[in-house]
Each structure stands twice: as structure tokens, then as C-alpha cells.
């Protein structure tokens, strides 16, 4: 009986701790894959495409500001952004099903100033992944994915920095 109760409790815990409802759709990119074709408009009006990202080392992050794991990852990404944006690394943060006003409010409250693209759907996200956020891709020049991080576990600042350094060299 205790074992059964434990199993039920674990199942309920996993249901209630999920960031956002998960649907099994879309791609599932892996290390060594090339960034898929995509185009997003950033909050400053600039346009980012996979072709632009192929010109330099790049970081692509998918997030939603109500996701607890994303809330852990975003400040770490801000540290990385602050340190590497001037070192010819292109950063593209893309929301998964979240509008610009909500993101701007969250970023302002939490001292984040990274450029982002608000996406109200999963169209761009599904070119990269089926499930899970945050999802961070560190890519070498040419758009080749060299590191992928998700919420299992949420990457530390040191892990992100080390991975980015290995691609820059």
C-alpha cells in the first residue's frame, strides 16, 4: 500500500511541476545537426534568421517566463549574454507561447535586458524540439549545434560558459 501511495504521489508531483502542457510534436534536433530554417522578429524590430546565426557562434534559447526552470536559467543566460555579446556571439531568445507584454514585464522586474522574440505559438519551437523548456542551443559558426541544454538539469552558469568557450576556440 505504501509503495502504491508513493507511486501515485510521484505521478501527481510530475504532473504539477511541469512548466507548461507538453505536446509531442515537432523536431528533435541533436548535437551535430544544423540549425533549421527560421525567421523571428526581435523585440527591437530586428530580424534574426538561421542564415544570420550561421555567420558567427550563436546561442538560441527557448523559454517561457512562468516556467520555474526557465526562471532559473534566464539570469544565468543574462550573465553569459553580458559577458559574451561583445565577443561576436549572437544571442537569440525565443518565447514559446508567450506574448511580448508579459515578457517585457518579467524582464523589467528581474533586471534582464537580453533581446527576445515573442512567439504566441510553437511554430518556431517545433522546428527545434518536441518538448521541454528551457532549451538552449550553443552553435558554432556554420550553424552546427554543439551543445544542447534543457531542464534536466537546468544548466549552471559554469556549464554554459564552458560550453560556449569550447565553441569559440
pTM here is 0.85
**CATH number of the domain encompassing residue 144:** 3.40.30.10
Sign of CA dihedral 88, 89, 95, 101: negative
User: How far are the Cα atoms of 127, 130, 142 from residue 114, in angstroms, in the given order?
Assistant: 22, 25, 23
The grid coordinates listed for 23 are 505536446
Q: Calculate mean pLDDT across residues 108-125.
A: 97
Question: Which range marks the domain in which residue 34 is found?
Answer: 26-168
Q: What is the mean pLDDT of the chain?
A: 89
Q: Calculate mean pLDDT across residues 36-47.
A: 97
Q: Is residue 100 situated within a structural domain? A: yes
Q: Is residue 18 situated within a structural domain? A: no
Residue in the structure block whose three cell numbers are 526552470 = 69
Say yes or no to pLDDT of 116 above 60: yes
Number of domains in the chain: 1
Amino acid at each position: 500500500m505504501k509503495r502504491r501511495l508513493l507511486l501515485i504521489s510521484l505521478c501527481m508531483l510530475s504532473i504539477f511541476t511541469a512548466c507548461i502542457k507538453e505536446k509531442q510534436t515537432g523536431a528533435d534536433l541533436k548535437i551535430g545537426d544544423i540549425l533549421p530554417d527560421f525567421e523571428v522578429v526581435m523585440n527591437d524590430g530586428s530580424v534574426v534568421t538561421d542564415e544570420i546565426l550561421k555567420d558567427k557562434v550563436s546561442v538560441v534559447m527557448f523559454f517561457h517566463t512562468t516556467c520555474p526552470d526557465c526562471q532559473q536559467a534566464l539570469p544565468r543566460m543574462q550573465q553569459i549574454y553580458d559577458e559574451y555579446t561583445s565577443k561576436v556571439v549572437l544571442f537569440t531568445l525565443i518565447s514559446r507561447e508567450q506574448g511580448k507584454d508579459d515578457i517585457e514585464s518579467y524582464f523589467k522586474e528581474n533586471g534582464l535586458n537580453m533581446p527576445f522574440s515573442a512567439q504566441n505559438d510553437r511554430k518556431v519551437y517545433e522546428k527545434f524540439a518536441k518538448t521541454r523548456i528551457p532549451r538552449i542551443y550553443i552553435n558554432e559558426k556554420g550553424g552546427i549545434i554543439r551543445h544542447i541544454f534543457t531542464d534536466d538539469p537546468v544548466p549552471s552558469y559554469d556549464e554554459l560558459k564552458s560550453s560556449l568557450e569550447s565553441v569559440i576556440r
